[in-house]
């Protein structure tokens, strides 16, 4: 019943982001309600304006900074939640490699959620730069969790490089469109039975998360679906139940689909059965 | 005199300076994050090397600190 990430056994299959919440307090309460044992976070260059000692409201709000870092630290220490730094905003392997090195020093973890974006419109990962970055990071001792498209061959290449965890998207980041191509995702699951597969990005509803687990995925990483809900804390709880439900359904074994109807009530010896044929 | 860019702001120094010394001067004017990491010319420099890393004119120092992320 646990999720294995590079040898760490986690008792939740949900990974959750820390961005876009109405406040740091709601972020913290949502993470706790989700029961997630991994949170994602990022690094940002200190703004010259926000960083000025003369400035007021220093590093508050969505800009993040000290306040949000303190909340994330308290989550990690009080709730045994692991940190998964990302390389959001990187467009080349060079940028991602540098950012990952800084993250490792700062957060003290070899884990990195590798994002190398190739298209600004739909934030689609660049497979060429992603593979290049992956190769360099693994050679440098990182444990890489690459965010990628639902392309089977790309996932195979990432696995061959040494990625024990692979994170194909359900749909583009922040769209909430759910699993756009269950066929592709199912094929990846079937062809990479030993990889830890986590759906990352595009989850909009708890039923999407449940579907991912039903397809055999090991976990789900999401952010917007909770943070942008009218009530993020309750939505986080809903996702916790959805992931648990999907996992139970998978382990129970789903019935096979049929093309034609099959009566669930036995028709033999029911009144008038012979008249209906 | 050398010119160093730190987080997109230009600083002039009259003498050769190490990364460690430049940071000390920088944080006299700017708020110091509780934790940070940095890159010089987009290459990561570990904390253990700040004192020995000699900066050259035109170097670009970027200081990063944690933020929320998805």
Coil, strand or helix at A195: coil
Question: Strand A8-10 vs strand A14-17: parallel, antiparallel, or unpaired?
Answer: unpaired
Residue A1 pLDDT: 66
User: Whose structure tokens read 């090397």?
Assistant: B49
Please tell me which of the candidates A46, A53, A64 has its beta carbon nearest to residue B63.
A46
Q: Kindly determine whether residue A17 and residue B68, on different chains, have CB atoms separated by under 8 Å.
A: yes
User: Whose structure tokens read 């922040």?
Assistant: A174
Question: Using N-to-C axis directions, what is the helix angle for A127-139 and A93-107, rounded to 10°?
Answer: 40
Mean pLDDT of all residues in B6-34:
91
Give B32→chain A minimum CA distance, Å: 8
Please tell me which of the candidates A20, A94, A106 has its beta carbon nearest to residue B35.
A106
Q: Give residue ranges of B with CB < 8 Å to any A CB.
A: 7-9, 29-31, 33-39, 42-44, 46-47, 62-70
Mean pLDDT by 10 residues, chain A (277 residues): 92 96 95 97 74 38 67 93 97 98 97 97 96 98 98 98 98 96 98 98 97 98 97 98 97 93 82 63
Structural domains in chain A, CATH included, are: 3-46+58-254 (3.20.20.70)
Q: What is the DSSP string of B27-57?
A: TTTBPPPSS-EEEETTEEE-GGGTTT-EE-T
Q: Kindly determine whether residue B65 and residue A44, on different chains, have CB atoms separated by under 8 Å.
A: yes
Which residues lie closer than 8 Å to B60 by C-beta, 6 or more apart? B4, B5, B40, B41, B42
Please tell me which of the candidates B7, B43, B70 has its beta carbon nearest to residue A40.
B70
Q: Kindly determine whether residue B63 and residue A101, on different chains, have CB atoms separated by under 8 Å.
A: no
Residue A52 pLDDT: 45
In chain B, residues with a C-beta closer than 8 Å to the C-beta of A223 are 70
Give A270→chain B minimum CA distance, Å: 57
Residue A276 pLDDT: 55
In chain A, residues with a C-beta closer than 8 Å to the C-beta of B40 are none
Which residues of A are designated catalytic?
113
Tell me the CATH number for domain B2-64. Answer: 3.10.20.30
Residue A274 pLDDT: 64
Coil, strand or helix at A266: coil
What letter does residue A164 receive in the DSSP assignment? S
| Torsion on CA atoms A55, A56, A57, A58, rounded to nearest 10 | 30
Q: Which helix or strand (DSSP H or E) is residue A252 part of?
A: helix A232-252
């Amino acid at each position: 019943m646990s999720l294995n990430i590079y040898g760490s056994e986690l008792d939740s299959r949900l990974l959750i982001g820390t961005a876009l919440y109405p406040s740091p307090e709601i972020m913290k309460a949502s993470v706790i309600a989700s029961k997630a044992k991994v949170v994602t976070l990022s690094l940002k260059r200190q703004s010259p304006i926000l960083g000025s000692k003369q400035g007021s409201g220093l590093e508050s709000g969505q800009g993040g900074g000290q306040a949000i870092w303190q909340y994330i630290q308290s989550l990690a220490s009080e709730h045994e939640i692991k940190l998964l730094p990302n390389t959001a905003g990187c467009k080349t392997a060079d940028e991602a490699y540098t950012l990952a090195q800084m993250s490792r020093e700062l957060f003290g973890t070899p884990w990195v959620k590798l994002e190398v974006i190739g298209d600004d419109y739909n934030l689609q990962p660049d497979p060429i730069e992603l593979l290049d970055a992956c190769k360099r990071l693994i050679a440098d001792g990182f444990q890489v969790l690459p965010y990628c498209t639902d392309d089977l061959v790309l996932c195979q290449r990432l696995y061959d490089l040494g990625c024990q965890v692979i994170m194909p998207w359900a749909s583009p980041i922040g769209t909430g469109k759910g699993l756009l191509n269950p066929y592709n995702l199912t094929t990846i699951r079937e062809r990479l039975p030993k990889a830890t597969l986590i759906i990352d990005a595009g989850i909009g509803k708890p039923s999407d998360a449940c579907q991912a687990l039903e397809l055999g995925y090991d976990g789900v990483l999401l952010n917007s679906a909770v943070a942008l809900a009218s009530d993020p804390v309750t939505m986080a709880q809903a996702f916790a139940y959805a992931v648990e439900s999907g996992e139970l359904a998978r382990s129970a074994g789903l019935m096979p689909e049929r093309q034609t109807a099959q009566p669930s009530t036995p028709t033999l010896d029911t009144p008038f059965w012979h008249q209906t044929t | 005199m050398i010119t160093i860019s730190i987080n997109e702001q230009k600083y002039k120094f009259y003498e050769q300076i190490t990364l460690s010394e430049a940071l000390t001067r920088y944080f006299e004017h700017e708020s110091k994050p509780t934790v940070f990491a940095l890159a010089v010319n987009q290459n990561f420099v570990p904390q253990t090397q700040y004192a020995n890393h000699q900066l050259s004119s035109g170097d670009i120092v970027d200081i990063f600190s944690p933020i929320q992320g998805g």
